[in-house]
Amino acid sequence: MVGTGSYSVYKRHFNNLQKALDGMPLNGMSHEGFLKMVASLRQKGLSNNYVAANVSFFKRLIEYGHLHEMIQRPPVGYNTIRRKNEYDTTHLEQDEVKRLLAFDFSANPELAKERDSFVFCCFTGLHHSDYAEKTFEIHNTNGGQWIKGYRKKSKEGKKDKPYEMPLHPIAAQIIERYGGLEKLPSASNKQRNINLKLLAAHLGFNMFCVKLQTKYKILFGMYIIIIKNGVTTNDSK
């Protein structure tokens, strides 16, 4: 199931490719034909990164068509359209998290709030939408605090993916700092990505924060924290 936002992106890619191909057949596409398509995309004034995104979508379409026998074989001569910059989109290392926590953002309160939001998500594994809409609760269980909730972005919006895990002390400190869950700072996804880039620039992190990569940076950061603190997978589900 494709979300509305993803569908709009795919539709734009499809329209771009349709114009760039200009009736060129896909069956047996030559290396020269592929390069002609790429050149046509570039002639439209598209950035190198956006051309790369369109080419990536084109490859996925071809693979799907070949898998379902819509075309005889995939076109030959794929070129790799490299993005201009290489970014680390895995996770923040522990020393980077410590630097982020220790950095003085008193001159910029908005970045201080964004730092706290991001760190809270790193130590809880929450998706931005779940965090922003506060679709979670804190419960006292077995003498400790646990964070419990449902994944908002599950299939068809159903609450079919419950999760629970011990609340990390740093996450608990952030809640206390703002006076409760309902007062935790939040921003739109667009504004958050802008703020995260500013955070990365302040601390010298090689971090490109588009929505999906931000999500995985948070999740991988959370997994590293879990592993290093001895929390079992049964405790974080």
The beta-strand segments (E) located in the chain are: 136-141, 144-150, 162-166
Place of tokens 């509305």: 4
- How far apart are the C-alpha atoms of 147 and 206, rounded to whole Å? 30
**Domain residue spans of the chain:** 4-67, 94-228
Averaging pLDDT over each range in 35-39, 70-74, 156-160, which range is the top one? 35-39
pTM: 0.52
Structure tokens at 132: 């922003």
Give residue-wise pLDDT tens across range 9-23.
Answer: 888 888 888 888 888
Dihedral (CA of 215, 153, 123, 173) sign: positive
Share of the chain above pLDDT 90, in %: 6
Averaging pLDDT over each range in 51-60, 187-196, 204-213, which range is the top one? 51-60
Give 214's pLDDT tier (boundaries 50, 70, 90).
very low
- How far apart are the C-alpha atoms of 136 and 181, rounded to whole Å? 9
The beta-strand segments (E) located in 39-195 are: 136-141, 144-150, 162-166
> Quick one: pLDDT at residue 207?
52
Residues 21-60, buried b or exposed e (16+ Cβ, 10 A)? beeeebeebeeebbeebbebbeeeebeeebbbbbbebbee
Q: Which residues contact 47 (CB under 8 A, 6 or more apart)?
A: none
> Quick one: pLDDT at residue 87?
45
CA angle, residues 28, 80, 27, in degrees to nearest 5 = 10
